[in-house]
């Protein structure tokens, strides 16, 4: 008995359109190109076994898919109940066939065969235990087939992600859910960690080893950036030099290791651990600006007059060797800035706070890195090689809000910026920073765009080709924008998962807290929760009125243990 109508064959009628099935958000399905929206009632019948990304033929009269002309290799995460007595069948090889529950609202439940139960029982030495005692498990699966007589598609197991409820398993689910690259580095020969020579050869460098400071969070393991101050004989600040780890010194473009790094594009910060973009020994040691260790760096030199004004036309960019004098945590550096703690760098930090007009060490570091990024971006753009970070939308607070809320809003806007290669002059702006020609240069240990910018900068300094073509850089920008959108989605989902575990552990699953609505787009309200320092995206019902943006309100947070969707584990009620 057929559960779905069989697919039609060409030629297609005038009222039948072809395109790719796209899912923008829950309740938003389209046929592209053209943006034809699908009615959402009786959706399973209308989709007629089509999956997101499939090339389909859609009948506008009957309002349903009548053919799938090209299948994508759809992959998604499901959960199987290993203790269930309801097994759908058994394959010739002895694998059990399960009804697997989808953990991704874009994809349906499916049938999948797996020998996981037998493998776990053997590993436990409990082959006699046939039905109970085994937790549900997450599987990463790939679409195989879906006939008109099957209620659900058949899928093949690709990877076992671990037990349901285990934090590490759920992190792996979110990595796969967002199609991020997190494989272990292959066993390739690591680069020689020897340093370049001073004053000779093609890679001529300047040595900096006097009172160089690196200030980072207490938990930091990778140190990208440092800085130091130089003074006149009268004690005034005459130069500020920002030093950034020269990661590209170790990883030549298109080498085997660099190709692996390019697949990752960024360090992934999970709840339980991080997955470095570059090999661990370089991220946490050999490239990292650690105290009393000399490292290859790229330095940006800012000159100042005796009145504390920068001499912009005297900016310099140098290949350098830098030896950090002190690695400081923000907490210690703040006490030094505020005069609560003696330190050899006390005068430097206090003068920097005054010169940059900031109040603490975090703001000192942030201002210096923004300044370096902007200087490099502007210099490269003037020479026709600008990899520019652009942003045209910034919803600033419309009323007075606490500093932490204003800071969150600015950082949130910055994360939504996009990379463009050599955009038109009137499209180089970064709205939330109020700058043009801004780039990413200061975090090459954890961000691939910074490595690209380093190569472009070194190319302009040396007069040698960077190894990139303009067409390749344009394509890389598109790749970076797509991938970083996925990273932002995973970060949001991780924050909800972190909140879920904290609510259960500390507040018995329910808690009331302060909130600030910060943005409203397409029916979705974004709310900032200061107590947890995270954003919650809340879809308003059609009968709900949008609260005033940036006005404090109280909300209830409740954990939801029933849903299979990790990003919906916490419910917010206004």
Query: Which tens digits make up the pLDDT trace of 213-229?
Result: 999 999 999 999 999 99
- The pLDDT value recorded for residue 198 is 65
CA atoms in the 13 A half-sphere facing the CB of 243: 32
Query: Going by DSSP bridges, is the β-strand pair 418-421/387-390 parallel, antiparallel, or unpaired?
Result: antiparallel
Min mean pLDDT across 59-68, 76-85, 123-132 is at 123-132
Q: Which two tokens stand for residue 315?
A: 């900016």
What does the pLDDT look like over 360-400, one tens digit per residue? 999 999 999 999 999 999 999 999 999 999 998 777 888 88
Alpha carbons 237 and 352: distance in angstroms, whole number:
9
Min mean pLDDT across 135-144, 266-275, 537-546, 550-559 is at 537-546
Distances (CA, A) of 8 to 37, 58, 69, 139, 477: 21, 10, 10, 33, 40
Mean pLDDT of 412-436: 92
Alpha carbons 177 and 227: distance in angstroms, whole number:
39
For residue 190, name the pLDDT band (cuts at 50, 70, 90).
confident
C-alpha angle 348-354-359 in degrees, rounded to nearest 5 = 100
What does the pLDDT look like over 232-251, one tens digit per residue? 998 999 999 999 999 999 99
202 backbone dihedrals φ, ψ, rounded to 5°: -70, -35
What does the pLDDT look like over 538-571, one tens digit per residue? 888 877 888 899 999 999 999 988 777 887 889 9
- The pLDDT value recorded for residue 84 is 81
Using a 10 angstrom Cβ sphere, with 0-12 exposed, 13-18 middle and 19 or more buried, the burial of residue 375 is: buried
Which residues, in sequence order, are bridge partners of residue 559? 570
Q: For residues 196 and 445, which has the higher predicted lDDT (pLDDT)? A: 445
- Residue found by looking up tokens 């923008």 in the block: 24
Query: Going by DSSP bridges, is the β-strand pair 213-216/326-329 parallel, antiparallel, or unpaired?
Result: parallel
For residue 127, name the pLDDT band (cuts at 50, 70, 90).
very low
Cα-to-chain-centroid distance, residue 383: 30
Task: Give pTM, 2 decimals.
Answer: 0.92
What is Dmax (Cα atoms) for the chain? 93
CA atoms in the 13 A half-sphere facing the CB of 567: 20
Mean pLDDT of 8-37: 85
Q: Which two tokens stand for residue 45?
A: 């019948």
Closest CA to 377 of 460, 314, 447: 460
Closest CA to 277 of 262, 267, 287, 289: 267
Alpha carbons 191 and 202: distance in angstroms, whole number:
19
Closest CA to 105 of 200, 177, 206: 177
Q: Which two tokens stand for residue 46?
A: 């209308």
Cβ atoms within 10 A of the Cβ of 503, count?
Answer: 19
- The pLDDT value recorded for residue 411 is 87
Residue 149: DSSP 8-state: T
Phi-psi region of 74 (alpha: psi -120 to 50; beta: other; left: phi over 0): beta
Alpha carbons 335 and 329: distance in angstroms, whole number:
10
Alpha carbons 409 and 429: distance in angstroms, whole number:
18
Alpha carbons 494 and 488: distance in angstroms, whole number:
10
Please, what's the b/e burial string for 347-366 (b: 16 or more CB within 10 A of its CB; e: otherwise)? ebbebbbebbebebbbbbbb
- The pLDDT value recorded for residue 123 is 82
Using a 10 angstrom Cβ sphere, with 0-12 exposed, 13-18 middle and 19 or more buried, the burial of residue 198 is: middle
What does the pLDDT look like over 408-423, one tens digit per residue? 998 888 888 999 999 9
Q: Which two tokens stand for residue 296?
A: 């290859």
517, pLDDT greater than 90: yes
For residue 443, name the pLDDT band (cuts at 50, 70, 90).
very high
Residues 540, 525: contact at Cβ < 8 Å? Answer: yes
Residue 1: DSSP 8-state: -
Alpha carbons 566 and 172: distance in angstroms, whole number:
12
Mean pLDDT of 179-187: 90
Residues 17, 52: contact at Cβ < 8 Å? Answer: no
- The pLDDT value recorded for residue 27 is 66
Which of 83-87, 185-189, 206-210, 387-391 is most confident? 387-391
202, pLDDT greater than 60: no
- The pLDDT value recorded for residue 105 is 86
Distances (CA, A) of 354 to 214, 308, 337, 371: 19, 10, 10, 16
């Amino acid at each position: 008995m057929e559960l779905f109508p069989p697919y039609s064959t060409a030629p297609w009628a005038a009222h039948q359109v072809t395109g790719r099935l796209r899912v923008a958000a829950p309740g938003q399905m389209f046929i592209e190109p053209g943006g034809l929206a699908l009615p959402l009632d009786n959706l399973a019948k209308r989709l007629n076994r089509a999956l997101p990304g499939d090339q389909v033929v859609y009948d506008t009269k009957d309002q349903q898919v009548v053919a799938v002309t090209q299948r994508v290799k759809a992959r998604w995460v499901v959960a199987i109940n290993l203790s269930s007595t309801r097994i759908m069948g058994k394959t010739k090889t002895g694998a059990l066939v399960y009804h697997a529950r989808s953990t991704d609202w874009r994809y349906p439940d499916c049938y999948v065969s797996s020998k996981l139960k037998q493998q776990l029982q053997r590993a436990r030495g409990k082959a006699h235990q046939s039905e109970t005692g085994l937790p549900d498990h997450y599987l990463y699966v790939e679409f195989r087939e879906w006939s008109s007589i099957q209620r659900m598609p058949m899928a093949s197991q690709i990877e076992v992600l671990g037990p349901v409820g285990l934090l590490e398993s759920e992190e792996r689910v979110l990595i796969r859910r967002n199609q991020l690259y997190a494989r272990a580095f292959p066993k390739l020969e690591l680069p020689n960690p020897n340093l370049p020579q001073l004053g000779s050869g093609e890679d001529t460098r300047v040595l900096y080893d006097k009172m160089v400071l690196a200030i980072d969070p207490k938990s930091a393991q990778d140190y990208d950036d440092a800085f130091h101050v130089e003074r006149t004989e009268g004690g005034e600040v005459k130069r500020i030099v920002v030093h950034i780890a020269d990661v590209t010194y170790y990883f030549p473009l298109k080498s085997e290791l660099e190709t692996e790094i390019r697949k990752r594009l960024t360090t992934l910060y999970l709840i339980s651990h991080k997955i470095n973009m570059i090999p661990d020994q370089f991220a946490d040691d050999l490239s990292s600006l650690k105290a009393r260790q000399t490292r290859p760096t790229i330095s940006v030199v800012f000159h100042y007059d005796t009145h504390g004004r920068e001499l912009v036309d005297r900016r310099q960019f140098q290949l350098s060797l830098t030896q950090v004098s002190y690695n400081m945590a923000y907490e210690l550096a703040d006490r030094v800035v505020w005069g609560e703690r003696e330190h050899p760098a006390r005068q430097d930090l206090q003068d920097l706070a005054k010169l940059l007009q900031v109040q603490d060490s975090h703001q000192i570091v942030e201002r210096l890195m923004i300044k370096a990024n902007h200087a490099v971006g502007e210099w490269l753009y003037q020479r026709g090689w600008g990899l520019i970070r652009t942003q045209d939308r910034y919803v600033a607070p419309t009323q007075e809000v606490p500093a932490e809320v204003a800071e969150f809003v600015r950082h949130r806007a910055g994360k939504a910026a996009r990379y463009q290669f050599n955009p038109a002059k009137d499209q180089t702006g970064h709205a939330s920073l109020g700058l043009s020609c801004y780039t990413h240069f200061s975090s090459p240990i954890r961000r691939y765009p910074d490595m690209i910018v380093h190569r472009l900068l070194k190319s302009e300094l040396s007069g040698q080709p960077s190894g990139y073509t303009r067409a390749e850089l344009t394509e890389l920008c598109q790749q970076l924008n797509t991938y970083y959108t996925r990273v932002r989605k995973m970060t949001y989902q991780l924050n909800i998962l972190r909140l879920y575990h904290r609510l259960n552990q500390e507040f018995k699953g329910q808690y009331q807290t302060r909130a600030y609505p910060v943005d409203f787009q397409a029916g979705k309200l974004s709310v900032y929760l200061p107590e947890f320092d995270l954003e919650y995206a809340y879809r308003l019902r059609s009968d709900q009125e949008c609260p005033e943006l940036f006005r404090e309100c109280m909300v209830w947070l409740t954990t939801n243990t029933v849903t299979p969707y990790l990003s919906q584990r916490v419910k917010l009620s206004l």
